[in-house]
Each structure stands twice: as C-alpha cells, then as structure tokens.
Amino acid sequence: MEEEEEEAQALLAGGPHEARSGAPAASRALSAVCDPSRLAHRLLVLLLMCLLGFGSYFCYDNPAALQTQIQRDMQVNTTKFMLLYAWYSWPNVVLCFLGGFLIDRVFGIRWGTIIFTCFVCIGQVVFALGGIFNAFWLMEVGRFVFGIGGESLAVAQNTYAVSWFKGKELNLVFGLQLSMARIVSMVTRLMRPNSKQQVELRVSLSWGGVTCILSLISALALAYLDQRAERILHKEQGKTGEVIKLTDIKDFSLPLWLIFIICVCYYVVVFPFIGLGKVFFIQKFGFSSQEASAINSVVYVISAPMSPLFGFMVDKTGKNIIWVLCAVATTLVSHMMLAFTMWNPWIAMCLLGLSYSLLACALWPMVAYLVPEHQLGTAYGFMQSIQNLGLAIISIIAGIILDTRGYLVLEVFFIGCVSRDALLSVVLLYLVIMPGGGNLNYSTRQREEMKFSHTE
C-alpha cells in the first residue's frame, strides 16, 4: 500500500513538472524507467515478460501452420506428423508436477527462466535444423526438447508476473499475457508460406528460431532487472508457492476425478482438432490456404477477448456446472455441424471458440471449491499432467484415424469423446453434487451467504 501511495504521489508530482519544461522531464522519464518502484519500469518489465513467452507460443503452433509443407516435403503421414505434438506433451506429463518445484527449490526463478528458455531455444533450433536437412526424426527430438522448456516457462512467466505485479495490476497483466499468447498463435497460423518452394519452410522455421532467441534475451534481461530490483527494493525472489504432494492424489474425491475426465475429454477435442484442422477446411470446404489458417485460428482469436468477459460472467453468476454443461453441449453441436453439414464452418468454429473460452473460465475454478488449499497445487499439477497425457495420446490416435478412416470418422470420434465422456461426466458430476449439497453449483449469492454464515 505504501508503495502505491508513493507511486501515485510520484505520478501526480511528475505531471505538472513535465508540463513546465522538456529537458528535465526527459531525464525524469529515463529515471522512472530505471527505477524499479515506478510504473514505467514495471511496464518495461511487462514488455519483457510478454516477449519471454513470445518464442514458445510462436513455435508451439509451427507444425500446424506448416502441416502441408512438412507432410509434402518429408512425405510423412498424419500419424507421424501428429507425433510432433505428442512429443511436446510427453515431457509435460511429468514436468507439470516438477516445474514449480524446480523454480522454487532448485534453480530459483531467474536461473529457472533462463534454463527453460534455453530448452525452448535449443528445441526450436533442432526442430528447424530437422526441417532444413529434411530429417523428420531431428524435428521430433527438437519438439521434445522444446516441450521440456515450453510449459515450465509458462509457470515461470506467471511467477514473475505475481512477484512484480501482486497487489497492483496483476489481473491486467495475466490478461495481457493471455491475449499475447492468443495473438501470437494467430500470427503463426496466418504467417504461412505463399509460395510452394521449400525455401519458405526454412524461412518460417528460422523465424521461429529468431523469436526464441528474443525470448532468451528477455529472460536474461529480466534476470538482471529482477536482481537489481532485489538489491534496490529488498524485494524477495519470486516463488510459485506450489506444494506438490503426490500422496494427496489418493484423497481426491469422485467429483474431482469427474472434473479431470471432463478436462481431458474436452481439451483433446479442441487442440488435436485444430492441429489437423487446416487440411480439413481446405479439402472439405474448398478454402484457400490462407482462409483455412484464419478459420483454424479463430478459436484463439475469440478466446482472447471472451475469456475475461466470460470469467466476469461466471464470477457474477456462479453455477459453474451449468456453464460447463453449456460449454460442452455447444462444443458437441459445433463438432456435429463440422462433421455432418456443409454449412459455413465459420459458424461452427466461432461456437467452438466461445465454448472453449467459457469452459476454461468455468471448469478450472471448480477445482478450488473441491480441494483444500494446501492440496491445490497438487490438484492443478495433476490436472495439467493428465491433460498433457491425454493430448499426447489422442494426438497420435487422431493421426492414425485420419490416415486410415478420414475426417468424418475423426470428427465422429471427437463427438464420442465430447458426448459420451465429457457430457456424461458433467451430468454425473451434477448428480453426485446434488445430494451432498456441494457448493459447485451454487450461485454467487449462495456462496456469499455461505461465507457469511461461516464467518459468523
């Protein structure tokens, strides 16, 4: 609080001074940028944080944007192509538990970030080399190394954000980082080779490498600034504060397991579909390559503005299960439209984007209502871990189905996942929660009343 007041005073004081004379204002602005307690300096840090994630987000979707090129030039089938995504997910099945631990106890946030960025960089370089030398196995190795760094880097990024912005602009920062991720995903999908030459594949892959190096530079700069801030402000080094106890898993309740099932079954029908979607839109709907990239990225584009909006809505209304049910049902409808109609796929993909944003806002917070706070880290770690496991396995299965049975069967398989598993789990969850009177489906007012009666 004190800091904030200081800052406010500084800003107020800064205003009139700047109006009076130019030269002192410039030096003042410069000192503000260099002063870790000032907003200007924090904005600089925020910029670096966004750049930190830039590389990994940019490169994650590199294969999808280059699917046709990779499959053409390397002559791999879709099953093998989807391994590029699976190899990213495999290390994260384990690292979701370990990321927080490594940052807190082993490396510290600064070195942790640098090391994870190095992994991202090396991974992308190896991936690009594989592309340049036409060696698919090298690309797979690259994706694995990239995966080791990727998700943990996101944890590190969040930790930095908390340590610099807690009690200040934290929500805005999270929002900005998320939007950054979405926008970057979109840019990757749109930025694809126009020409058919293989040179373009190389250029694209090399651009990925450049963004990763940019991330590495940001990591180094952040480490320096963070250390400097520690020296000047006596600020502690950021920690994730996650405590992971694997033995907690046996205490997880049935509703929590149902949430895990919903999570896995839901995400596997979104991400692997997007990974394979481009060819689908080109072949089934006769889209041009650019159009197909655009529609394939519309899910991310929609979720950038809608996530905060839906988050606000769910916060206000409560009733998370009903929202999850709506999201799952909408996704089901959207996949049915894609599979069985020739209707303009923009409708279906926009629906998918909306439901994806809604689900993310309604599902993840439910865990917090079901698990005591000391187990929260384990529960979220586990959820991410099995989500990655699901993504890895389903990516491979989706590739196999597409190669042997085509898109219609793949879509029907996805519909099966959403409907039989996810929808069924939501309904079961509802039934399980109802008699126990759990607060998952309370409206916000009910939750507040509960809190009020507890405090009384």
Binding site for other proteins (CB under 8 A): 71-73, 75-78, 196-198, 279-280, 283-284, 286, 339-342, 402-409, 412-413, 415-416, 419-420, 423-424, 427-428, 430-431, 434
d(CA 324, CA 255): 14
Q: Comparing C-alpha atoms, which of 292, 40, 80, 319 is closest to residue 190? A: 292
When the beta carbons of 50 and 402 are compared against other proteins, the nearer one is 402
Q: Select 70 or 184, whichever has its Cβ closest to other proteins.
A: 70
In DSSP notation, 422-442 reads: IIHHHHHHHHHHHHHT-GGG-
What is the closest distance, in whole angstroms, from the C-beta atom of residue 284 to other proteins in the complex?
5
Cβ proximity to other proteins: between 73 and 230 the closer is 73
What's the rounded Cα separation, in Å, for the pair 396 and 78? 9
The residue among 257 and 340 lying less far from other proteins, judged by its C-beta, is 340
User: At 203, which helix (H) or strand (E)?
Assistant: helix 198-233
Q: Which tokens in the block code for residue 265?
A: 């079954």
Nearest distance from C-beta of residue 403 to other proteins, angstroms: 5
The residue (of 31 and 75) whose beta carbon lies closer to other proteins is: 75
Shortest approach of other proteins to residue 266 CB, angstroms? 14
Residue 318: strand pairing partners: 443
For residue 8 the two structure tokens come to 């406010």
How near is the Cβ of 427 to other proteins at its closest, in Å? 5
User: By C-beta, is 9 or 341 nearer to other proteins?
Assistant: 341
CA distance 300 to 136: 28
Helix (H) or strand (E) holding 299: helix 298-317
Measured distance CA(74)–CA(198) in Å, rounded = 11
Residue with tokens 């839109």: 281
Report residue 134 as tokens. Answer: 């036409």
